[in-house]
Structure 1
């Protein structure tokens, strides 16, 4: 019995120590990175009201900020109706210009005007390993920037577009915020949640590709860029479906069900009547 209580006390000490260490590390990371974190707001020009709100983070010293496409999508579709605005950790705000988008991976690059070089987030050169502790940063429910610790659980299996399964509480308003490792390098971007501390991230390599392509050549127009991306994704999806095994299954006396064997379609069935 004495041994049991000793082991229990030791385990509790270890858990408390790890928890305290995680909180302390999260606080240090936040203080280090908060100058490069932003709240991103979409403003209706006619009413002056907020249409949407999310998060963003600077990825270059000349003012390029990454966020989710869905945060600024209304502007991308109706640029005359809305404007994009940022709010930094010191309460400063200003307008942003849309530079490039990745509709398929839900990413966007916006830019603020800067008078001098600024601190920015470094994008990781490698993907995290399963079980690695990560830190999600963002602006939930318009309450100010926070940091949420969580765990990397690999890529979501049933998804046509890559999504990281993140065990951490990503809340509304954190969309577009960065997820960093213990060395403060970005390894993902907040994008969605399923509740119960289950979140999903866009892998950082998608952002790396978008930013590199932007540096090579900025899009002629955002509308044209979105059209090309959607058509390419449509072709990719149709090709994947047509090239996958189709298994015939009997349904009643006069019907067959072709089941498409692809992981991203749970119920890929089409009913065909047999005369």
Structure 2
């Protein structure tokens, strides 16, 4: 199957356009599922349902030669972060809107305030005026996920709240390149969950009822969803949401280097004094940046960050992006066959949407 496009999953409509219902004919595959498994699914859903909400983002823009406003809607899902009403969702749901509404599991609807949004990770935080709202547990370390692990996706596809799909983890730390724009600020969890418009912002949950990620994007072809979905990992959700709540923005770690993949052949790797192809090649250094001040130069190969092995150039960019501004990291490098290390101060920078006005 040829993949034609990488798309954010958002359900948009205009008041000037009628509502169309699309019905798909699905092939039903019979599974021998034990009663215990069904009970386990029920328990998971019961544990997390109260912290999953539906979101409607409304945009009103004046129409030329008319006193009426043109109104469009984006629909998605959100995750309750705190008992006092902070909610995480996808930035692409709310980015172009000016009013926001949240529907809880009990069908109560609240108008929400946008606290902040981050284009680079596709995370936004809303706030509703509520107390004692149920929250969910987030997994501590997404790297402990195993390929093939069963997961559930919960959301509001096609404005159907509480819809659940079941799948497995297909990959972790997946780097994507969408329309020439790097997504190295997020290394995604790949699943085979069935994701449809309105699922954006909804949780991916493991069998311990822990949130492991947030559905954000899917590969699509001419017939719709391909069964390849991508979720923002829990640690990214919590880190970026915390920054948005605190500062209204999320700054990404920056040290002023550009990196490239290491050479392909074994001989080239050995000529560089390396045992394998892990690491990132420094291709350029900003002379005004902290890495240059710490002695990093073009041609160096970065091997570890704070003693954690750098897998490749995508992994390195993510590791730096995830650092807090003002912190220090220790890099280990190799230059002309000699190993050395240096400490680098992390600066923070905002990543703007290149397509914004």
The equivalent of 1:126 in structure 2 is 141
CA distance in 1, matches of 2:72, 2:44: 29
1:157/1:263 contact within 8 Å kept:
no
2:174/2:190 contact within 8 Å kept:
no
What is the CA-CA distance between 1:123 and the residue it aligns to? 1.1
Give per-residue Cα distances to partners, 1:33-81, cap 9 Å, x unaligned. 2222111111134658442110001011111111011111113xxxxxx
| Number of residue pairs matched by the alignment | 218
Aligned-residue Cα RMSD (Å) equals: 2.9
The equivalent of 1:30 in structure 2 is 45
Superposed, which structure 2 residues align to 1:150-169 within 5 Å? 150-155=167-172, 157-159=174-176, 160=184, 161-169=186-194
Q: Does residue 206 of structure 1 match 2:223?
A: no
The equivalent of 1:64 in structure 2 is 86
CA distance in 1, matches of 2:164, 2:261: 42
- Please point out which of 164, 172, 175 is paired with 1:147: 164
Give per-residue Cα distances to partners, 1:192-246, cap 9 Å, x unaligned. 122232211111110121233346x323xxxxx37x65xx78x87x813xx4458
- Please point out which of 51, 63, 73 is paired with 2:73: 51
The equivalent of 2:111 in structure 1 is 95
Superposed, which structure 2 residues align to 1:1-275 within 5 Å? 16-18=32-34, 20-45=35-60, 47=69, 49-75=71-97, 82-114=98-130, 116-127=131-142, 128-155=145-172, 157-159=174-176, 160=184, 161-194=186-219, 195-214=225-244, 217-219=246-248, 225=249, 239-240=258-259, 243-244=260-261
The unaligned stretches of length 5 or more in structure 1 are: 1-14, 76-81, 220-224, 248-259, 265-275
CA distance in 2, matches of 1:97, 1:73: 13
What is the CA-CA distance between 1:157 and the residue it aligns to? 4.2
CA distance in 1, matches of 2:50, 2:202: 13
Task: Name the CA shift for 1:30/1:43 in 2 (closer, same or farther; >3 Å).
Answer: same
What is the CA-CA distance between 1:121 and the residue it aligns to? 1.3
What is the CA-CA distance between 1:87 and the residue it aligns to? 1.3
More helix by share: 1
What is the CA-CA distance between 1:180 and the residue it aligns to? 1.0
1:26/1:148 contact within 8 Å kept:
no
1:122/1:186 contact within 8 Å kept:
yes
CA distance in 1, matches of 2:237, 2:314: 24
User: Once structures 1 and 2 are overlaid, which stretch shifts more, 197-206 or 147-156?
Assistant: 147-156
What is the CA-CA distance between 1:85 and the residue it aligns to? 0.8
Q: TM-score, structure 2 length as denominator?
A: 0.54
Q: Secondary structure at the match of 1:123?
A: coil
